[in-house]
Structure 1
Amino acid sequence: MSTQPVNVATQKLPDMRYERHAGVPRQTDVSKALAHAAHPVLGNSSSEPVNVNEFEELARLALPNMYYDYYAGGAEDEHTLRENMQAFHRITIRPRVLVDVSQVDMSTTILGYPISAPILVAPTAAHKLAIPEGELATARAAAAAKTIMVLSYSSSCSIEEVASSCNAVRFFQLYIFKRRDISALLAQRAERHGYKAIVLTADTPRLGRREADIKNKMIYPPEKNLEGLISINIQCVDQGSKLETFANQMMDASLRWEDIRWLRSITSLPILIKGILTHEDATRAVEAGVDGIIVSNHGARQLDFSPAPVSVLEEVVDAVKGKVPVLLDGGVRRGTDVFKALALGAQAVLIGRPVLFGLAAKGEGGVRTVLEMLKNELETSMALAGCPCIKDITRSHVRTEHDRLPSML
């Protein structure tokens, strides 16, 4: 295949950040002028967020509608988007009492790398839509929280820029393109710049139908990591967003399990596969030799009415039989959610939208606060459930709908 670079087409984007301030509508001259003071205004608010969910409203006020909808939206009717969170609500915790929890230790390891708590930053695209520093701010916040950030291939800062932003353990998310040379180059750049694992996203043979992006005629920033490799000047011939058209023309819909061998041939990094939702695919993933599995439905942005990750987590864990670590991505908004996922067999969870909402609302500090809130809530949950360390959280600490069913028969 040809590896000759093609100049990336420049696109005119809306201003990256407008704010609503004192009732002034977004996208007016007054609103744009006030944008410079927006972070101090939010930061000095008398009503500071007390949980992760409250950052979403701050982000909604801070972002242009197009960008908020892009971050927040899901596929089609958004049934799965709602279910991702609601599925956690149907799981109850069975606490133990009279356990010494004077010291609670949340630390754990992922692929041998120590982290302060089993909460990672999920791969999410285009952080510069939230603030100008983009993924550089997110990377610093993750490093401060002593956890792992998975950088999206479609980040608005390059692999190299994020690598040099701070000293931390990072993974890199990879898609497989029709032009395999591009995917190979991205993986090799990540390995060369110190990323410790490849997270292969496997659930995107084509982009899900994200109707908010279609209605907004979503304008997506140039793919920073593809600069000099391929043109993204895509002309829409239908009613879809430019992002949808670009993805459907670029992604390799012929990708199969056998192609894991090809990925192994071009990088020595461990490979985690993201997008597993069934025991059949979990079994195939282990047979293919992956180093880890991430149970995920792509933040409910791909196939609507696919199951919530937490509802199939135990199915995947049972299929894997401890041969590789299993992580969960999707719907986590509380420390109790983290606790439930761990009890059902996840080694850790990944956080996507809450990180973006924290970034949009309060920049790097917002991301740090989101991660600290979840860690603090997890610590409280562990103490109140009688679990002084992560290994003490067991299946017996939760009750699911499946557990209740026999008692109803």
Structure 2
Amino acid sequence: MESIGRAIQSAIYRAGVFGHRPTVPVEPAALEAAARKAMSPRAWSYVNGSAGQQRTDRANTEAFYDHRIVPRMLVDVEERDLSVDLFGTTLPAPVLLAPIGVLEMAHREAEHAVARAARALGLAMIHSTQASVPMEQVAAALGPNPHWYQLYWSRDDELAASLVARAEECGAQALVVTLDTHLLGWRTRDLDLAHLPFAQGQGIAQYTSDSRFAAMTRERANTPRTERDPRPTPAAVRSVLSQVRRYPGDVRTNLRSGLPRAAVETFLDTFSRSTLTWKDLEWLRSRTSLPIVLKGLQHPDDARLAIEHGVDGIVVSNHGGRQIDGAIASLDALPPIVDVVDGRVPVLFDSGIRSGADVFKALALGADSVLVGRPWVYGLALAGADGAQAVLEHILAELDLTMGLAGVRSISEITRDTLSPVE
């Protein structure tokens, strides 16, 4: 059976004989440049932008330069196995689609397109709480494909419980709790545009499709306003229309009801929560039977505490550099956490993956699997489902070929011995 690496590589070269180039650029920098041209300034700033002077984002990618792959020769690598087991499910590769919010800014089909890409490759997709499409619709599009749910823990526990219950009902196989975004980072590019997509009613479909959130919205809409609105401007009118178009139901009815605006205000008031502590995990455990994975850990002591509090998995992540400017690179945080966990629960890696070779290095440093985010969003922006699928295929193909060229036949053989640090 031909490996995915050779299959994808050969298909590209064969198409080239007839004058056809890949659906999206293969080279990561070219992919990013093409996506920037295709996306609006607001969309590009939101997807590509990070905190402050973008130093953590650069650190994430530059950290991969500090490790070099050391190939071994005369090893029979004709057949290679990329599969991994996570929480009782065998995945075809150690690559999951990271939860990315507001995908409608990248492409009008948003999660519908991403679901088709994930399903075509059998890769696990992680639903974002800040999705543009309700999780139930995405789960239906995914069919039997594995999927997880990422939770932003709201100020309202009933809302958090409702979202978790919905995730269970639509077949999610794990719950990923994002810890590093209880406050929104200082994202300079978005601030310069004075643009927050949620204020436009974008990326809140999980909320507006939720019964608990609907009750909160109705209560707010029925509460008399105590302050007077400023004089309307064209920008304000556009914002209202954006909110109205994205709220469930008839546009005219929404205009009269005031619910779309109330929904945005309710979301902005309830999204972030900085009061959570380790003891709150007990409350969450009492409300779900799903494996609980904590996303956003960067300190070994937090990994110890996670194990003590019975979590089922960890994602080493700094949110793609979007939260703290000058934070530790995610790859640098990985080995100490892997050592502390010592195989007791799966450790996944997120933030900075741009290629299959990057995946190899993260696995060699101890990750059981990785989450990929921005690259497939760039593909989505360029060519919808086909673009997202192509980017993921390129990453998998390079991982497969890198494994063969490095002399390893399975993911379990990718160990720290396959790397050499840069002196």
Is the TM value for this pair above 0.5?
A: yes
Query: How many angstroms apart in 1 are the aligned matches of 2:23 and 2:291?
Result: 44
Q: Determine if contact 2:23/2:383 at 8 Å carries over to the other structure.
A: no
The match for 1:181 among 158, 161, 174 is 158
Q: Determine if contact 1:53/1:333 at 8 Å carries over to the other structure.
A: no
Q: Determine if contact 1:207/1:247 at 8 Å carries over to the other structure.
A: no
Query: How many angstroms apart in 2 are the aligned matches of 1:244 and 1:367?
Result: 32
The corresponding residue for 1:20 is none
Query: How many angstroms apart in 1 are the aligned matches of 2:35 and 2:71?
Result: 35
Distance 1:180 1:341, change over 3 A: same
For the pair 1:76 / 2:52, whether they are aligned, the reply is: yes
Give 1:48 deviation, angstroms: 5.2
For the pair 1:149 / 2:125, whether they are aligned, the reply is: yes
The match for 1:353 among 362, 371, 374 is 374
Question: What per-residue deviation string (whole Å, max 9, x for no partner) do you get for residues 175-226 of structure 1?
Answer: 1111111111001001011111100001122111101111112141151011
Distance 1:245 1:357, change over 3 A: farther
For the pair 1:226 / 2:207, whether they are aligned, the reply is: yes
Question: What per-residue deviation string (whole Å, max 9, x for no partner) do you get for residues 225-268 of structure 1?
Answer: 111614499x999xxxx999965753110000111111101111
The corresponding residue for 1:119 is 95
Query: How many angstroms apart in 2 are the aligned matches of 1:166 and 1:314?
Result: 33
Query: How many angstroms apart in 2 are the aligned matches of 1:318 and 1:166?
Result: 35
The corresponding residue for 1:107 is 83
The match for 1:50 among 23, 26, 30 is 26
Q: Determine if contact 2:104/2:110 at 8 Å carries over to the other structure.
A: yes
Distance 1:396 1:83, change over 3 A: same
What's the RMSD between the two structures over aligned residues? 2.5
Higher normalized helix content (fraction of residues) = 2
- SS of corresponding position for 1:272: strand
Distance 1:48 1:196, change over 3 A: closer
The corresponding residue for 1:94 is 70
Query: How many angstroms apart in 2 are the aligned matches of 1:135 and 1:99?
Result: 41
Paired AA for residue 216 in structure 1: L
The corresponding residue for 2:392 is 371
Query: How many angstroms apart in 2 are the aligned matches of 1:47 and 1:277?
Result: 36
Q: Determine if contact 2:95/2:370 at 8 Å carries over to the other structure.
A: yes
For the pair 1:280 / 2:301, whether they are aligned, the reply is: yes
Give 1:52 deviation, angstroms: 3.7
Give 1:364 deviation, angstroms: 0.3
Q: Determine if contact 2:156/2:270 at 8 Å carries over to the other structure.
A: no
- SS of corresponding position for 2:294: strand
Matches for 1:187-202 after TM superposition, within 5 Å: 187-202=164-179
Paired AA for residue 314 in structure 2: I
Distance 1:393 1:130, change over 3 A: same
Paired AA for residue 176 in structure 1: W
Matches for 1:155-166 after TM superposition, within 5 Å: 155-166=131-142
Q: Is 319-328 or 50-59 further displaced after alignment? A: 50-59
Distance 1:203 1:48, change over 3 A: closer
Number of aligned residue pairs: 356
Query: How many angstroms apart in 2 are the aligned matches of 1:338 and 1:219?
Result: 31
Matches for 1:242-281 after TM superposition, within 5 Å: 250-281=271-302
For the pair 1:212 / 2:189, whether they are aligned, the reply is: yes
Distance 1:309 1:266, change over 3 A: same
Query: How many angstroms apart in 2 are the aligned matches of 1:165 and 1:72?
Result: 27
Give 1:102 deviation, angstroms: 1.0
Query: How many angstroms apart in 2 are the aligned matches of 1:359 and 1:212?
Result: 21
Q: Which runs of 5+ in 2 are unaligned?
A: 1-18, 222-226, 231-260
For the pair 1:295 / 2:316, whether they are aligned, the reply is: yes
For the pair 1:385 / 2:406, whether they are aligned, the reply is: yes
Query: How many angstroms apart in 2 are the aligned matches of 1:306 and 1:130?
Result: 27
Query: How many angstroms apart in 1 are the aligned matches of 2:168 and 2:266?
Result: 29
Paired AA for residue 346 in structure 2: P
Query: How many angstroms apart in 1 are the aligned matches of 2:393 and 2:21?
Result: 19
- SS of corresponding position for 1:206: coil
Q: Determine if contact 2:95/2:123 at 8 Å carries over to the other structure.
A: yes
Query: How many angstroms apart in 1 are the aligned matches of 2:118 and 2:349?
Result: 18
Q: Which runs of 5+ in 1 are unaligned?
A: 1-42, 405-409
Q: Compute the TM-score of the two structures, normalised by the length of structure 2.
A: 0.80
Q: Determine if contact 1:207/1:248 at 8 Å carries over to the other structure.
A: no
Question: What per-residue deviation string (whole Å, max 9, x for no partner) do you get for residues 336-392 of structure 1?
Answer: 111111111100110011111110011101111111101110011101110011111
Query: How many angstroms apart in 1 are the aligned matches of 2:53 and 2:404?
Result: 39
Query: How many angstroms apart in 2 are the aligned matches of 1:110 and 1:342?
Result: 14
Q: Determine if contact 2:113/2:384 at 8 Å carries over to the other structure.
A: yes
Paired AA for residue 110 in structure 1: L
Distance 1:95 1:247, change over 3 A: farther
